[in-house]
């Protein structure tokens, strides 16, 4: 078995330590720091990218919140305008109604007044005409002349009975 | 002559399956009295350093934020070992990460390059794996002694044992601790040697049996796949056990 040939041990050991130390120096001085550097750079890049993404997300959320708030404000103010409009219209209608009623009342009163006036005047005229007619009729029919004043009293008595 | 003995003789005709482990000098060299000849083993060690450096440095030569394929290999290996050290030896194991990474890469590339036909597997020699295991063993013991001073020896006293059993258990713990470099090195060496011997034996059958060689060829291909897995797995096992031993030395808990 060549592995047990003691004569080959020393050269193998010498070259093993030589090559192993060289490999160790190459790895620890040159290659490993470089790989570590690249990995760290990538880690940093990923971390910063994630941070950026987080920031953008927060910003987007803020914008969304502002948007929602503004929408709500617009809703509230539009409701207010509608409410105000309704209130104004109903108050307008009310005042117009009131005006109309007042005018109606006034016109009714005026009409009633003029009707009363005409009625009074007519009554007076009817009394006078009746008095004259009664005086003339009595004179013609029973040839007796009554005093105008008496006749008036009698007629008023009769009218009063009718009215009552 | 039985069918089986024909197999053996044909396999031997293709060369001994152990021949691939032979070490021969390419350039004889001496440093004082010490033989430091450049051998085929030295050549493959150098190749391991060269190829692993090339693969890992090409990946990070023009490193971009989004890794390309070669860059992914070096980054995956880095994170694989970094996670291994962190998981098994916690944050305190971080200073030893470059060593464990080098150890893993050295063994991995030795094992994988050894699977190239007609190549030589550095880790198929017990002296190499034992030397690596001893470096780990001595290093870990020194780390434990420096960090915990005399308290380091509480590692050999399991918690909550009856006093009467203590001497026995301490001896068992001590032996299991001292045997670590042997198990660590023999595991790697035996896996590499057995796999390559088996591949060579079946490879010899393919050549010797001619047309009938299609059977052993299929087995060889399947074994080759298995050996590729074993090559990576053994490098991983060596690195993980190093992490666990390091963890014992750093934290002393069982």
pLDDT digits (tens, 9 = 90+) for B223-246: 999 999 999 999 999 999 999 999
Nearest alpha-carbon partner for A35 in B89, B76, B91 = B76
Instruction: Look at B45 and A16 and tell me if their CB atoms are within 8 Å.
Output: yes
Residues of A in contact with B49 (CB under 8 A): 19, 22-23, 26
Distance to chain A for B21, nearest Cα, Å: 6
Instruction: Look at A34 and B63 and tell me if their CB atoms are within 8 Å.
Output: yes
* Inside any domain, residue A11: no
Best residue in A1, A38, A43, A48 to probe B by mutation, most B CBs within 10 Å? A38
Q: How many CB atoms lie within 10 A of CB B18?
A: 14
Residues of A in contact with B125 (CB under 8 A): 2-3, 8, 12
Give pLDDT, residue A6. 84
- pLDDT higher at B167 or A60: A60
* Inside any domain, residue A16: no
Q: Is the ipTM of this complex over 0.85?
A: yes
Residue found by looking up tokens 């007076």 in the block = A124
Residues of chain A with confidence (pLDDT) below 70: 162-164
* Inside any domain, residue A132: yes
Tokens of B127: 């002296």
Counting the structural domains of chain A, the total is: 1
**Interfacial B residues in 78-107 facing A (CB < 8 Å):** 78-79, 97-99, 101-102, 105-106
Instruction: Look at A15 and B36 and tell me if their CB atoms are within 8 Å.
Output: yes
B34-35 vs B30-31, strand pairing mode = antiparallel
Q: How many CB atoms lie within 10 A of CB B192?
A: 28
CA distance B219 to B206: 10
The model's pLDDT over B122-151, given as tens digits with 9 standing for 90+, comes to 999 999 999 999 999 999 999 999 999 888
Q: Taking all residues of chain B, what is their mean pLDDT, rounded to a whole number?
A: 87
Q: Where are the domains of chain B?
A: 27-251
Q: How many CB pairs under 8 A join A and B?
A: 125
The model's pLDDT over B8-58, given as tens digits with 9 standing for 90+, comes to 554 454 567 788 888 888 888 888 888 888 999 999 999 999 999 999 888
Q: Which residue of A has its CA nearest to B37?
A: A11
CA distance B113 to A96: 109
Among residues of chain B, what percentage have pLDDT more than 90?
Answer: 54
Nearest to A10 among B35, B189, B193 (CB): B35
Angle (CA) A78 A80 A84, round 5°: 120
B25-27 vs B38-39, strand pairing mode = antiparallel
Contacts 24+ apart (CB under 8 A), B8-11: B10/B204, B10/B205, B10/B208, B10/B209, B11/B201, B11/B204, B11/B205, B11/B208
Nearest to B99 among A17, A18, A24 (CB): A24
* Strand residues in A5-161 grouped as ranges (E): none
Distance to chain A for B151, nearest Cα, Å: 31
Residues of B in contact with A7 (CB under 8 A): 35
Q: Is residue B15 within 8 Å of residue B21, measured between CB atoms?
A: no
The model's pLDDT over B80-98, given as tens digits with 9 standing for 90+, comes to 999 999 999 888 889 999 9
Residue B164 has pLDDT above 90, yes or no: no
Give pLDDT, residue B1. 41
* Inside any domain, residue A2: no
For residue A134, give its domain range. 40-163
Residue B6 has pLDDT above 80, yes or no: no
Q: Is residue B164 within 8 Å of residue A52, measured between CB atoms?
A: no
Residues of A in contact with B133 (CB under 8 A): none
Instruction: Look at A39 and B38 and tell me if their CB atoms are within 8 Å.
Output: no
Q: Is residue B107 within 8 Å of residue B235, measured between CB atoms?
A: yes
CA distance A35 to A28: 11
Residues of A in contact with B98 (CB under 8 A): 24, 27-28, 32
Residues of B in contact with A5 (CB under 8 A): 23
Classified as helix, coil or strand, A1 is coil
Nearest alpha-carbon partner for B14 in B217, B249, B190, B202 = B202
Nearest to A31 among B22, B34, B56 (CB): B56
Instruction: Look at A26 and B49 and tell me if their CB atoms are within 8 Å.
Output: yes
Nearest alpha-carbon partner for B43 in B27, B20, B59 = B27
């Amino acid at each position: 078995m060549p592995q047990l040939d003691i004569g080959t041990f020393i050269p193998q050991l010498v070259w093993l330590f030589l090559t192993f130390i060289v490999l160790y120096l190459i790895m620890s001085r040159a290659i490993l720091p470089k790989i570590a550097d690249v990995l760290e750079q990538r880690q940093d890049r990923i971390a910063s990218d994630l941070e950026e993404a987080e920031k953008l997300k927060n910003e987007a959320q803020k914008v969304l919140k502002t948007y929602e708030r503004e929408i709500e404000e617009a809703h509230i103010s539009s409701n207010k305008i509608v409410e105000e409009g309704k209130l104004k219209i109903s108050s307008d209608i009310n005042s117009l109604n009131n005006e109309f009623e007042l005018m109606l009342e006034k016109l009714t009163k005026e009409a009633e007044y003029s009707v009363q006036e005409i009625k009074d005047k007519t009554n007076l005229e009817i009394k006078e005409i009746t008095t004259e007619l009664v005086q003339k009729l009595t004179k013609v029919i029973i040839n007796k002349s009554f005093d105008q004043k008496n006749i008036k009293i009698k007629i008023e008595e009769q009218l009063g009975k009718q009215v009552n | 002559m039985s069918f089986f003995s024909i197999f053996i003789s044909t396999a031997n005709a293709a060369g001994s399956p152990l021949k691939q482990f032979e070490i021969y000098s390419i350039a004889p060299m001496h440093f004082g009295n010490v033989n430091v000849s450049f051998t085929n083993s030295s050549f493959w060690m150098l190749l391991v350093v060269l190829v692993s450096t090339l693969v890992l440095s090409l990946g990070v030569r023009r490193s971009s934020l989004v890794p390309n394929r070669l860059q992914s290999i070096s980054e995956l290996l880095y994170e694989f070992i970094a996670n291994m050290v962190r998981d098994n030896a916690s944050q305190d194991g971080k200073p030893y990460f470059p060593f464990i990474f080098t150890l893993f890469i050295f063994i991995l590339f030795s094992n994988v390059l050894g699977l190239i036909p007609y190549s030589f597997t550095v880790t198929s020699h017990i002296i190499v794996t034992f030397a690596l295991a001893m470096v780990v063993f001595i290093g870990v013991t020194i780390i434990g002694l420096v960090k915990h001073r005399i308290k380091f020896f509480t590692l050999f006293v399991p918690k909550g044992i009856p006093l009467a059993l203590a001497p026995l258990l301490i001896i068992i713990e001590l032996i299991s601790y001292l045997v670590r470099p042997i198990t660590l090195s023999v595991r790697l060496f035996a896996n590499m040697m057995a796999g390559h011997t088996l591949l060579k034996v079946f490879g010899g059958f393919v050549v010797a049996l001619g047309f009938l060689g299609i059977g052993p060829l299929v087995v060889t291909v399947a074994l080759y796949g298995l050996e590729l897995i074993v090559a990576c797995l053994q490098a991983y096992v060596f690195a993980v056990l190093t992490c666990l031993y390091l963890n014992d030395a750093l934290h002393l808990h069982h």
